[in-house]
Amino acid sequence: MRVSRLSYRATLGATVLAVTVLVSGCSSNQWGFPYRVGVQQGNWITTDQVGLLTEGMTREQVRFALGSPTLTSVLHADRWDYPYFYRAPNGLVEERNFAVFFRNGLLVSWQGDEQPEVQPFQIAKETVEREKDEQAEFTLERERVQAATGQIESEPGIDFSTITDAPPSTDPGALPDEPDAVPQELM
């Protein structure tokens, strides 16, 4: 059986086109392809850790307060550097530097960029705790309403006890709780 040249070329062309589309799709930055992981390097230091520093501390005390330095130099033995670098998956870069200075083995000064209040794991923990607190408040409020009325309030904050079975007022100038005026019979 013989395959015509036209169908062979069409099949080959369609295959090449499909492979080209698939390969080029893997190299684009759309739709999260390829996945890029965040790169974190250095020491994450908080304001609480910096607050522990006082002049005259030993190297061991500083190491306990801030952690081991990322950079130490033989040429600058009395200086410890604590750089921090983070490149997010979206390409945003966060950099902070902090340095401590010693003289005769004792801390004399420190300088650097403003440090964050909390550690990254504390940020996530605070978010989870806040959501748990909100859920607990909602559950407590629902239990209070159920205990008072014997039924669950369908819309929190709306008082359905003022709703009556009376027909709505036909007088547009009447107050909401005022019934319609009884018409006088004509004789």
Domain count, the chain: 2
Residue 159, domain member (yes or no): no
Looking up tokens 């979206």 gives: 90
Residue 161, domain member (yes or no): no
Q: What is the CATH number of the domain that holds 58?
A: 3.30.1450
Residue 8, domain member (yes or no): no
User: Which of 89, 112, 135 marks a domain boundary?
Assistant: 112
Indicate the burial class of 45 (C-beta count within 10 angstroms; 0-12, 13-18, 19 or more): buried
Residue pair 102/108 in contact by the 8 Å Cβ criterion = yes
**Cα–Cα dist 149/84, whole Å:** 57
User: Same structural domain for residues 69 and 49?
Assistant: yes
Question: What local confidence, expressed as pLDDT, does residue 83 receive?
Answer: 92
**Cα–Cα dist 109/5, whole Å:** 82
User: Same structural domain for residues 56 and 103?
Assistant: yes
Question: What local confidence, expressed as pLDDT, does residue 106 receive?
Answer: 95
Task: Calculate the average pLDDT of the chain.
Answer: 78
Owning domain of residue 137:
120-153
Q: Kindly tell me if the per-residue pLDDT of 141 is higher than 70.
A: yes
User: Same structural domain for residues 103 and 142?
Assistant: no
Average pLDDT over residues 132-157: 72
Helices (H) and strands (E) in the chain, counts: 4, 7
Q: What is the pLDDT of residues 77-129, one digit of tens each?
A: 899 999 999 888 888 888 999 999 999 999 999 999 888 887 776 666 677 77
Q: Which amino acid is at 22?
A: L
**Lowest mean pLDDT segment, chosen from 27-36, 50-59, 100-109, 128-137:** 27-36
User: Same structural domain for residues 136 and 82?
Assistant: no
User: Same structural domain for residues 93 and 144?
Assistant: no
User: Same structural domain for residues 78 and 131?
Assistant: no
Instruction: Answer left, alpha or beta for residue 157, where phi above 0 means left and psi between -120 and 50 means alpha.
Output: left
Residue 149, domain member (yes or no): yes
Q: Kindly tell me if the per-residue pLDDT of 187 is higher than 70.
A: no
Question: What local confidence, expressed as pLDDT, does residue 60 receive?
Answer: 94
Q: Would the pTM of this model clear 0.85, i.e. be above it?
A: no
Residue 185, domain member (yes or no): no
Strands 93-96 and 84-87: antiparallel
